Amino acid sequence: MPPRQATHDTASDASATAATTSELEAGHSTPGAPIQLLPQDALHNVLGRLSLREALACRPVCRLLRDALSSSPFLSSLPPLRLLALRHPRSSANGGGRDSHGSCLQAFDPSLRRWIRLPLLFLPFPSSSPVTASPSLLYLWVDAAAASTGDAKIPRTLAVCNPLSGSHRLLPPLGSAWSRHGTVLAGPGGAVLVLTQLAALAYSPGSDRWLKFSLNLPSKPRSPVLMAGAIFALCDVGTPWRSLWRLFSCRLLDLGEWASLKRPEWGDVLNILKRPRLLAGAGGGRILMIGGLRSSLDADAPCSTVLILRLDLQTMEWDEAGRMPPEMYHCFGGRGLGHVAAAGGANNKVKVFGGDGRVWFSGRRVRGKLAMWEEDDKGGCGVWSWVDGVPGCNEGGYRGFVFDAGFSAMP
């Protein structure tokens, strides 16, 4: 079966624009329209069958629907939109995680296979860079102090917002080292963690400060993931000449108390991949590990493809979840994750991101599109496809994260 392609739904965009224009011109529904004659409970019964996407599309139609579909209890009861929020390749350099006008966040809807834009005009900051998300909440590094003082040297801080409701809030300030080198994880109930090589900062909603914990890990945690009430991360316990990876975990309530997860039956499973990364699998009970499949355990062994392994947290058993098709792998340079092309010193690192059973791949040699893998719930090897039409600058090297857009939480 040929890979599926993503498209832009221009017809839907035109309908939305027309509906918005109609609302601005009319401002209300036609007097005596049949929908106005429905009792409130019947109207809510009908509207309650809409998806969140459909409810948002109906709001601009008329004042009646706008009022009925704007109540927080109703919107929060609708299932969220599961999206891939995209980070621009230059976001780490200039803080630009939005589009060229700084007004929108680009996102991909896997269910419709189309790109959408989430307006961020309500944010009063000169620049912002999205880093992670929790249900309904988006976390961004922002230049909050620069917005008020004009001093670009003041460290950035974290902000949390709900793009659908247009609300935001600043978190307590952080030092410059945390904003430059920290990995941000969003936990349940609005909790936030920032991890570096030696320590972690934890924030709980309602607090006015961050709490600091020592990590007590042998090296900087690589690609930490937060799931099932715990943090899982890879650490390199090898030498400067040869990496040796170990899997560590720590309960969210006991930060600093890390334990190595190692089973004799695992063998060298953690070291058959080059530059492995962790992502959350589908269902919240499985971890995915993605990397270039080494042809041998030699430090400079070439890679033959990209392999996705899956760890069941209940049985603690690994299995193969997916393997990138050869023709797709060759589009990325065919030399594995982390390869640096010799010609001109061009950086050909492949970016791996996603979560909840979906993995996306981007690279400088694959411009304007992403490779996508979707986990098979029946235990198969998953489905591979191309996602075309990546918006913005055609540079490749994008990153991103899963974002459940909705109204279940507010900043």
Please give the structure tokens belonging to residue 62.
Answer: 């008329």
**Residues 326-339, mean pLDDT to the nearest whole number:** 73
**Of 67-81, 126-140, 157-171, the least confident:** 67-81
State yes or no: pLDDT of 307 exceeds 80: yes
Most confident by average pLDDT, 14-23, 34-43, 247-256, 296-305: 247-256
- Sorting pLDDT into bands at 50, 70 and 90, what band is 397? confident
pTM confidence score:
0.83
For 357-392, the pLDDT digits (tens) are 999 999 888 888 999 999 987 767 899 999 999 987
Average pLDDT over residues 45-62: 86
Do 159 and 128 touch, CB atoms closer than 8 A? yes
Beta-bridge partner residues of 202:
193, 211
339-363 CB burial, b ≥16 within 10 A, e <16: beeeeeeeebbbbbbbbbbbbbbbb
pLDDT in the model for residue 380: 75
> In angstroms, how far is the first alpha carbon of the chain from the final one?
44
How confident is the model at residue 89, as a pLDDT?
64
Count Cβ neighbours within 10 Å for each residue of 206-226 and write b for 16 or more, e otherwise: eeeebeebebebebbbbbbbb
The whole-number average pLDDT for the span 318-330 is 94
143 Ramachandran zone, left/alpha/beta (phi>0; psi -120 to 50): beta
Is pLDDT above 80 for 329? Answer: yes
255 pLDDT tier (thresholds 50, 70, 90): confident
Q: Which of 83-97, 251-265, 295-309, 350-364 has the highest mean pLDDT?
A: 350-364
Joined tokens for residue 250:
């720590």
